[in-house]
Amino acid sequence: MAPKLPPHHPLEQSTSAVAGGQASAHHSPPRGIMRWLLTTNHKEIGSLYLIFSLVMFFIGGIFALVVRAELFQPGLQLVQPEFFNQMTTMHGLIMVFGAVMPAFTGLANWMIPLQVGAPDMALPRLNNFSFWLLPVAFALLLSTMLMPGGGPNFGWTFYAPLSTTYAPPSTTFFILSLHIAGISSILGAINIVATILNMRAPGMRLMDMPLFVWTWLITAFLLIAVMPVLAGVITMMLMDINFGTSFFNAAGGGDPVLFQHLFWFFGHPEVYIMILPAFGIVSAIIPTFARKRLFGYASMVYATASIAVLSFLVWAHHMFVVGLPLVAELFFMYTTMLIAVPTGVKVFNWITTLFRGSITFEPPMLFALAFVVLFTIGGFSGLMLAIAPADFQYHDTYFVVAHFHYVLVPGAVFAIMAGVYYWLPKWTGHYPNVKLSQWHFWLSVIGVNLTFFPMHFSGLAGMPRRIPDYALQFADFNLVSSLGALLFGASQLVFVAVVILCVRGGEKAPAKAWEGAEDLEWSVPSPAPLHTFDTPPNFRPHEH
């Protein structure tokens, strides 16, 4: 993130200038802000994505800390319920659409061309456009909080009719901002698919691709499939609010449950959009630091694909208590249980890769190992939630909050951090400071568990989610959660320090920064020059 700008190699520029005078004009980029506004370079756009997502991570984090501060003890101390609801909603929206998704897209931008041996993304100008849509979308989203009646306050799932008939006037702007963010995601996904399918180095077959590329290819297809559904459902909301339709308004003959079906048909694949690339990152890191091939490369690819297919068949498990017919409950219970099988295959593969390896614990490995353990804990609670009768007790309680934060924070976010630590030497030419990274890791692990583990208990004991105040028996759990959240939030400042220090200096990294690393990105110098693979690399398929 924020790498010192890689030096332009005058030599490379002059070689391409041979091709014609126009090319050299093309290659002298504008300076200052215009350079970043107009850049079409995948590395620069990747950095922009990552910096943007880090900023959003802190904004969303501050919102979460407001929530945790209010819940520190029973009673209303700091904020009123209206504002509390805006905080929970904005926290969710910003973390999902502003922090996690752009972080993965940023990693994809940086690494996919390097990993498949392509000179850049397939559609560089589109790439610039899809990034710059994001600041627009989120500036608009954040600005709704200053509008009369406040910003969105109906939860990140924005169930109608709370988000239509009963919504604050700013909801139309919220819809517009989601549309813009959605367009950005679709364009980014199209670009990734085009790059992976068309620009692989000669000789690299699909089954030779690194798993990060594979998981992103599948994720990109998921994005292309479901983002239009989200666009459709928010357009229906827009019509209900502004043009007098009644898609979701029962008084006009509409159907509030239809909203949930449409939302979760987008929303469940969205969950996998946020975790599949994480699987890819972890599948790169564990073999590197165990110095041993991934146990089952093909199974990993197959498991990713089958998770993606199943993710379209399980959406109504978010709706077990809306009064679905019995057959539907059973169908979605069975499919949801099935999805545990490929997920288990992945975990077993990582662990078997560790078995009889030669293991070291560099910072990326620490985060990847914590990912395996804590994501699996999130998987266990997911399995419990799949049991429909028991879900009648778990649904919409803190048990669910604990579950999805375990898969998203020590799941997706830890994988992103593992990826950042893993590839920082490639981006900046320096290793991240080991001592500070270890501090960051241990503080984060302790913080994340203190925050989210007690939520299992408060949920089982009966605490509903999204409430600004709670009964006295939940006080101890909430106190621990709030302290943990503060610790976790504060320890991310260490992360920023590590990244800044690493950009500015540190131990020099060679091209192959990690002894056990195999993929193509380690064949270019560290830091990676602005233009790599101008001529396709010589790809030798090493056996997976």
Partner 1 sequence: MRKSLVWMTGCLGFALMVPLAMANAWNMPVGVTDVSREIHSLHMIIFWICVVIGVVVFGVMFYSLFRFRRSQGAKASNFHENTTVEVIWTAVPLLILVGMAIPATATLKKMYDASDAELDIMITGQQWRWRYEYLGEDVAFNSNMSTPRAQIQGDEPRGEHYLLEVDEPLVLPVNRKVRFLMTADDVIHSWWVPDLAVKQDTIPGFINENWVRINEPGIYRGQCTELCGMDHGFMPIVVEALEEEEFDAWLAERKEAAEQEAMGVDREWELEELMERGEAVYGSICASCHQAEGQGAPPAFPALADNQQLIDDLDWHLDKILNGVSGSAMPAFRGTLNPVEIAAVTTWTRNAWGNDTGDAVQPAEIAERLSD
Partner 2 sequence: MWGVIKSVLAAFFGVQRERQRQEDFENGSPVAFIIVGVVLAVVLVVVVALVAVQASR
Please report whether residue 83 would count as binding partner 2 according to CB under 8 A.
no
Give CA torsion, residues 294, 297, 299, 303, to 10 deg.
90
Residue 430 φ then ψ, to 5°: -125, 150
Residue 334 in contact with partner 2, rule: CB under 8 A: yes
396 given a catalytic annotation: no
In whole angstroms, the minimum distance from the beta carbon of 400 to partner 2 comes to 23
**Residue 472 binding target from partner 2, partner 1, none, CB below 5 to 8 Å by type:** partner 1
List the single partner that 457 binds among partner 1, partner 2, none, CB under 5 to 8 Å by kind: partner 1
Whether 91 is a known active-site residue: answer yes
Within 10 A of 255 (CB to CB), how many other CB atoms are there?
Answer: 14
Of 47-55, 263-271, 331-339, 486-494: span binding partner 2 (CB under 8 A)? 331-339
Residue type, 543: E
**Residue selected from 19, 23, 38, 330 as contacting partner 2 according to rule CB under 8 A:** 330
User: d(Cα 544, Cα 542) in Å, to the nearest integer?
Assistant: 6
Which of the stretches 26-34, 53-61, 203-211, 414-422 binds partner 2 when contact is defined by CB under 8 A? 203-211
Task: Assess whether 430 carries a catalytic annotation.
Answer: no
Residue selected from 23, 207, 322, 471 as contacting partner 2 according to rule CB under 8 A: 207
Question: Of 272, 297, 315, 423, which is the active-site residue?
Answer: 272
Does residue 309 touch partner 2 according to CB under 8 A?
yes
Sign, Cα dihedral of 183, 186, 188, 190:
negative
Quick one: what does residue 359 bind among partner 2, partner 1, none, with the CB cut-off 5 to 8 Å set by partner type? partner 1
Q: Are 516 and 289 in contact (CB under 8 A)?
A: yes
Q: How far is the CB of 296 from partner 2 (least distance, A)?
A: 8
Identify whether 395 is a catalytic site residue. no
Q: Which of residues 372-411 bind partner 2 (CB under 8 A)?
A: none
First to last CA, the chain: 29
DSSP secondary structure code for residue 117 in this structure: T
CB of 312 to partner 1, least distance (A): 19
Q: How far apart are CA 67 and CA 81, in angstroms?
A: 10
Distance of closest approach, residue 272 Cβ to partner 2, in angstroms: 16
User: Among 216-224, 233-241, 274-282, 327-335, which window interacts with partner 2 (CB under 8 A)?
Assistant: 327-335
Q: What gap in Å lies between CA 300 and CA 347, rounded to an integer?
A: 10
184 carries an active-site annotation:
yes
- Least distance from partner 2 to the Cβ atom of residue 191, Å: 22
**Exposure class string for 388-425: b at 16+ Cβ within 10 A, else e:** beebeebbebbbbbbbbbbbbbbbbbbbbbbbbbbbbb
d(CA 343, CA 307) in angstroms, rounded, equals 7
Give the CA angle between residues 53, 56, 60 to the nearest 5°. Answer: 135
CB 317 → partner 1: shortest distance, Å? Answer: 12
For the CB of residue 326, give the shortest distance to partner 2 in the complex, in Å.
5
Nearer to partner 1 among residue 52 and residue 154 (C-beta): 154
Q: Position 455: which residue type?
A: M
By beta-carbon proximity to partner 1, the closer residue of 118 and 333 is 333
- CA–chain centroid gap for 211, Å, is 16
- How many angstroms separate the CA atoms of 465 and 478, rounded? 12
Q: Answer for the pair 112, 196: CB distance below 8 angstroms, yes or no.
A: yes
Among residues 91, 395, 403, 426, which one is catalytic? Answer: 91
Instruction: Please tell me the count of residues contacting partner 2 according to CB under 8 A.
Output: 22
Tell me if 197 contacts partner 2 by CB under 8 A.
no
Residue 508, phi then psi, degrees to nearest 5: -70, 140
12 is written with which tokens?
């490379």
Question: Which has the closest alpha carbon to 108: 47, 58, 183, 37?
Answer: 47
Select the span of 24-32, 167-175, 296-304, 406-414 touching partner 2 (CB under 8 A). Answer: 296-304
CB nearer to partner 2: pick between 146 and 327: 327
Query: Rounded distance, CA 391 to CA 386, Å?
Result: 7
Stretch that binds partner 2, among 4-12, 128-136, 333-341, 483-491 (CB under 8 A): 333-341
Spot the catalytic one: 42, 179, 200, 317.
Answer: 317
- 311 belongs to the catalytic site: no
Catalytic residue positions, numbered = 91, 120, 156, 184-185, 268, 270, 272, 283, 317-318, 343, 346, 465
Binding residues vs partner 2 (CB under 8 A): 205-207, 298-299, 302-303, 305-306, 309, 313, 326-328, 330-331, 334-335, 338, 341-342, 345
